[in-house]
Structure 1
């Protein structure tokens, strides 16, 4: 049996000191949004408690589906790298970047340098995404939907070149008998699309999954717990989102902080997979198991 933990939308706080020269373009609107709304909704104490609980599960691998930072300032990127190294070694952790990690041009490249092996794995060519990590019979396939956008937009993008690489990886891992888990920050299912924060290329992503199949898709971005599905090659593929890991109780914008734990095991010619969701309720101070369900 393999255990896989999923956490997302870290949004490390508090915001570091910001110089006026840093507040150009989109960062100005993001900074104002943080000061007026988000600073009271996302906090480090909540994140620390949730992570400590998750680490107590001693999962074989942890998937982090993006938004480590808020404005992708160099100081935030460096702090996120420190946070990842405290979480565990890159051999047991993979990150797919979120839109806040690519907030402005050049930010994602800075993160790739600082976060190093957390954003790396086996690839088909010189392109960074998708990359693959293999743990036993589990293949974690990390895509990137993270692109810089104009103010007031939080969209992601999945293009034809990445789609081609993802299709070839899914086929190779499927032929080899792996449980294929795809990571992408923005949700790919039609139910969660929106002109200002959806995924451009979501139909293309679904076409790749329909043609080649997958066993599980994990995302963040919405700051909500959710379970949907999209068509796969031989069966419907579960699409699971998780609440922001730093979302405080009592917030009006998001579900309280949560993480998911998957227990995956080969069963004859198929798989068994059980998902448990742990996190805070809207009332009470304890972290509890909120949901248990069998996916396969």
Structure 2
């Protein structure tokens, strides 16, 4: 009898990934759906947890601990390099996208302020090819009504590997939002994607993450270990977004490490180790 579990409030059974027949059946179904629907991406959800241990049952040796998550990553990789998973363990070397946790549609530590800490957590574990939550957050399932939140979220997402939307930008009825969305999508395609590809090659050779915390450049500077609202793309782009409602300026710390930093808008150059207070952004 299959082990019953729950997913999204409904009873279900998990695919037995230790059974080659079950795996072949599933892959045949995926291939059929891809051919019939022309799907570009496959999302595999529900691999988290261990249904045996959750129900105080002794799992088979092949599924002890987090082995199911590892087997699901193997399955996902066999589908293709545009497959998305929601959990991973010992699988950062696989050509997969990892979907980050859905967030609240607010300015707090489970909403906008969670993006950068979560990003750096994933990349330092080796998972660089990430799909962040939709612009504005999607956990509630509702459309985002806070236009400012949508814009600030978009400004961060433009520098991440993928931009995704749950709330379409035209719902605000404001040309500014539409124009900003077009601008940031264009910036993502023309500037960010080439950077990600460049540092992805370095990641393959050295294991260095594509997205890096401030202390990566200044490991002996204690200030850099307290910063959770800035991040680096490689060693050349520092992103310091606005994460406070109503703010038009913010404090920015430029890590040292022998670097100089140039404002991409004003072209002004600053020495590394500089603290910019109330800097207009």
* Fold shared, TM-score > 0.5 on shorter chain: no
Identify, as 1 or 2, the structure richer in helix: 2
Q: Could you state the TM-score of these two structures normalised by the residue count of structure 1?
A: 0.29
Q: Could you state the TM-score of these two structures normalised by the residue count of structure 2?
A: 0.30
The structure number with the bigger radius of gyration is 2
Identify, as 1 or 2, the structure richer in strand: 1
